[in-house]
A and B are shown apart, each in its own frame.
Chain A
């Protein structure tokens, strides 16, 4: 083993230390300013962009989901509303029909009763009239009969006799 060269291998050369120091510091400054700063900033901006895009996609998805559930809710509400309306309409129809029926029944009843009443009145009037007529006629007949019966004395006497015969004096 060549110890002379081996020794030179692990003995740092002052020139190389000097140049490495200068070069490394220079490289650090130049790269830091012109390479790492823009590169790292660009990567960070891109990462932020990706993050934002993902977040906004997530938000959009959530919005969509919300919209969908909203739509469903609105649809369900509309359906319920429609059912409600239909039911109300049916109820109203039934009510109207029932009311109309009741009204017409009442009217019919009223008409019937008034007709009945009128008939009764008319009948009563007619009966009364008839009674009057009968009475008048009866009186006239009676007058005429009386006149004819009492036109001669014989007849008057006969009548009185006749009457007398009926009268049973007890």
Chain B
């Protein structure tokens, strides 16, 4: 168990090391070769309006910006191509503005991501800048942008107000697709048990997923929660397969990086937080508010325990987000090496490393689903445990009771 986590930690640290190396490397390159100007037309066009750090780097492609855009959410489902040649599926945009809900397709922005195209709905005007939707200014600035940009040192911020954005973004769309896939897989498996009977050996999908279901039920749930784990198995199974299927979807080249999005991991960890705390028994709460320690250190211990309630799911959120995002960034950074060095001869190295990381990501897809589910089970287990973890406390309790 611990050895698995250690291995995973080691992998993660290697990832982060490579990741930081590449990010640093590409930045050095962009700084050291400012005279280079042979880049594709879109970027030259994009560079003309300035004011933005990503576009200030005249010359070499800013791999870090591309990598971060790649792992971020988007209002349209981009397949290939750049600028006006981009092939992308439009997605619905749903905005809660001052005048009610505005609903339109992302294609109305005409692939604009720099605040130049204004869409007017419900008497309100919207622009999109860096995949974020703002209320548009009355007039455009010198670059044709309907947003007010303020640059502080290297940081550019937009001072326009934002509507509440409930758009079906790429991540949301993928989540819907994944939910249909998950429902299809498991409802058809459930039907298979009904039609084939329970005594026959599993077939097809059943034989792939049944060991996983059993693994979650027996090793994760029963192993960490113990008595009464049956109640939590459906939740753990849902979390496990939701993460696993979306991790796998994220690895498909046009797939969205949903599990590497902090909003998604936030919801899952809040769910774990809720499930853990509404099932917390007397022992769990007494461990937090009446710790087995001298009363003198209670003022220190109780706040730590209370904060601990939140740090556990917070770590879950950050772990899944960082691991999945890091994996995607490494791959795009490796491919980006070709463009950084501007030579085709680096391609075999990039492809070899990217393939290696891809295979590793296959492992990580399962590993992260496992780690999230296992830790969730562990937290639930500690909340519903009947007795304190060590027998010493119990004997103390008994001694106290005897004394009274």
Whether both chains belong to one complex is answered with yes
**B-binding residues in A (CB < 8 A):** 1-6, 8-21, 23-24, 26-28, 30-32, 34-40, 42-43, 45-46, 49
> How far apart are the CA atoms of A11 and B279 in the complex, in Å?
30
**Closest chain A residue to B230 by CB distance?**
A40
B52 at the interface (CB under 8 A from A): yes
**Contact of B262 with A39 in the complex, beta carbons under 8 Å:** no
B384 at the interface (CB under 8 A from A): no
Give the top 8 A-B pairs by smallest Cβ distance, nearest first.
Answer: A35-B186, A42-B193, A16-B263, A12-B263, A38-B190, A20-B267, A46-B198, A36-B234
Known: A15-B169, A31-B182. 19 other contacts (CB 8 A): A4-B52, A4-B53, A4-B130, A4-B155, A4-B156, A11-B262, A13-B263, A15-B94, A15-B164, A16-B73, A16-B169, A19-B175, A20-B263, A24-B267, A24-B268, A27-B242, A35-B183, A38-B190, A38-B193
**Contact of A28 with B238 in the complex, beta carbons under 8 Å:** yes
**Which A residues are CB-close (under 8 A) to B130?**
4-5, 8
**Which B residues are CB-close (under 8 A) to A20?**
172, 175, 263-264, 267-268
Tell which of B68, B179, B198, B263 touches A5, judged by Cβ atoms closer than 8 Å.
Answer: B68
Chain B, interface size: which category?
35 or more
**Which B residues are CB-close (under 8 A) to A30?**
183
**Contact of B65 with A5 in the complex, beta carbons under 8 Å:** yes
B217 at the interface (CB under 8 A from A): yes
**Closest chain B residue to A11 by CB distance?**
B262
Tell which of A2, A15, A17, A31 touches B186, judged by Cβ atoms closer than 8 Å.
Answer: A31
**Contact of A9 with B263 in the complex, beta carbons under 8 Å:** no
Cβ < 8 Å to A, chain B residues 194-230: 194, 198-199, 210, 213-214, 217, 230
**Which B residues are CB-close (under 8 A) to A31?**
182-183, 186, 234, 237-238, 241
- For the residues of B in contact with A, the DSSP-based class is helix
> How far apart are the CA atoms of A12 and B317 in the complex, in Å?
11
**Closest chain B residue to A25 by CB distance?**
B271
Query: Given A1-B27, A3-B155, A15-B166, A39 and B189 touching (CB < 8 A)?
Result: yes
**Closest chain B residue to A10 by CB distance?**
B262
Chain A-chain B contacts (Cβ-Cβ < 8 Å), number: 150
Chain B window 239-250, contacts with chain A (Cβ cutoff 8 Å), 1 for yes, 0 for no: 001100000000
Query: Given A21-B267, A34-B187, A27 and B182 touching (CB < 8 A)?
Result: yes
**Contact of A18 with B166 in the complex, beta carbons under 8 Å:** yes
Please give the distance in Å from B130's CB to the nearest CB on chain A: 7
**Contact of A32 with B263 in the complex, beta carbons under 8 Å:** no
Query: Given A4-B52, A12-B263, A24-B268, A36 and B175 touching (CB < 8 A)?
Result: no
Q: List 22 A-B contacts (CB under 8 A).
A: A8-B72, A8-B130, A9-B72, A10-B321, A13-B73, A13-B263, A14-B165, A14-B166, A16-B172, A16-B264, A23-B179, A27-B179, A28-B234, A34-B190, A35-B187, A35-B190, A36-B233, A36-B234, A40-B213, A42-B198, A43-B213, A43-B214
> How far apart are the CA atoms of A45 and B196 in the complex, in Å?
13
**Which B residues are CB-close (under 8 A) to A17?**
263, 266-267
**Closest chain B residue to A18 by CB distance?**
B166
**Which B residues are CB-close (under 8 A) to A28?**
234-235, 238
B176 at the interface (CB under 8 A from A): yes
